[in-house]
Amino acid sequence: MRRPAAPSALVRLAAFTLAVAGAAACGPPKPIALGDDPGIAPQLALVDSERPPRTFTVTLAEPAHVAVLAVFPGRGATVLHPRDTTGTSVQLAAGTHQLSTDPLRMPVSVDSAILRPFERRPGLPDSAQARRDSLRAARAREQMRDPNARAMLGGPDRGHIMVFASRNPIDLTILRRRVPGVTIPLETREALRTVANMVRSATTPGRWAATAVETEMR
């Protein structure tokens, strides 16, 4: 007949279990995948010691046109690669590529749903517009109860690096023009989808994929 474990052994086991769970919870955030073409889904690795990141590695299973952006939910986005945002993108071969960027310039605008009254959009009945604005206002108020969201208004400590891969060329001139004025939602996945769709709109119709990794920015 087995003897029951001593209390001290149970305490040590519980402490070990909590330590393992804490280590798992504190691990690096998992990449967020977007898009409809898993065949070219890019892999992204950052240089951990850089704040903000200026060097990153992109791995492609198949040749693709690539753009890399920094995304700050509730604030905006910045194009990191290519450095030259004129003309169209150059296709990268399958394999691993080390890319670097100039010093990151943080976007200064924040989600218009927070900082200014909701504007009436033409073409919608007043009742529909009122319901739409009410829902957006409620969501913005709820999000701003989050201390991290409020802190972002003073300058983001964290953001996402997103690599977008397309089988078709990206019009970098259009992308550069659209990035400064884009409105980024506060919710992370909505923000990433907004930016991915913006890049997608700068390409001819085709399949694409994107990967985003959260990181410290300062």
pLDDT at 142: 60
Nearest to 165, CA basis, from 77, 71, 36: 36
- Predicted pLDDT of residue 91: 95
pLDDT value at residue 8: 57
Q: What is the per-residue pLDDT for 100?
A: 86
| pLDDT of amino acid 139 | 63
For residue 68, the model assigns a pLDDT of 94
In this prediction, residue 53 carries a pLDDT of: 80
Q: What is the pLDDT of residue 152?
A: 43
pLDDT under 70: residue ranges of the chain:
1-28, 48-49, 105-130, 132-134, 136-156
One DSSP character per residue, the chain reads: -PPPPPHHHHHHHHHHHHHHHHHHHTSPPPPEEEES-GGGPPEEEE-TT-SS--EEEEEESS-EEEEEEEEETTTEEEEEE-S--SSB--EEPSEEEEEE-SPP-------HHHHSPPPPPTTS-HHHHHHHHHHHHHHHHHHTTSHHHHHHTT--SEEEEEEEEESS-BBHHHHHHHGGG----SSHHHHHHHHHHHHHTTB-S--EEEEEEEEE--
Q: What is the pLDDT of residue 102?
A: 78
Statement: the pTM of the whole predicted model exceeds 0.85: no
How much is the pLDDT for 137? 56
